[in-house]
């Protein structure tokens, strides 16, 4: 049985990627980083698997690569 995907918050994403908060938000706006998902009225996070895929191959998330975030 497959384990459910964990939702991770900003501090964990920053630790895993080495990116600053502002860089993460800039990359989301550019379409080169997985977007957040809403988890409550005031909370958001990322699927752990999305971040793991980005860390493994961040170039695949670049616009014009022919492989959007879904293909990572």
Rounded CA gap, 57 and 35, in Å? 16
Reported confidence tier of residue 65, pLDDT bands at 50, 70, 90: low
Rounded CA gap, 42 and 5, in Å? 21
| pLDDT value at residue 66 | 52
Rounded CA gap, 28 and 12, in Å? 16
Rounded CA gap, 72 and 50, in Å? 8
Helix (H, G, I), strand (E, B) or coil at 38: strand
| pLDDT value at residue 71 | 47
pLDDT digits (tens, 9 = 90+) for 16-48: 999 999 999 999 999 999 999 999 999 999 999
pLDDT digits (tens, 9 = 90+) for 53-64: 999 999 887 766
For residue 37 the two structure tokens come to: 């998902």
């Amino acid at each position: 049985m497959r384990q459910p995907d964990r939702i991770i918050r900003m501090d964990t994403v920053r630790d895993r990627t080495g990116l600053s908060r502002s860089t993460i938000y800039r990359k989301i706006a550019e379409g080169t980083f997985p977007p957040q998902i809403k988890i409550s009225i005031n909370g958001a996070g990322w699927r752990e698997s999305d971040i793991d895929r980005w860390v493994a191959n961040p170039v695949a998330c670049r616009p014009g690569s022919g492989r959007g975030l879904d293909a990572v």
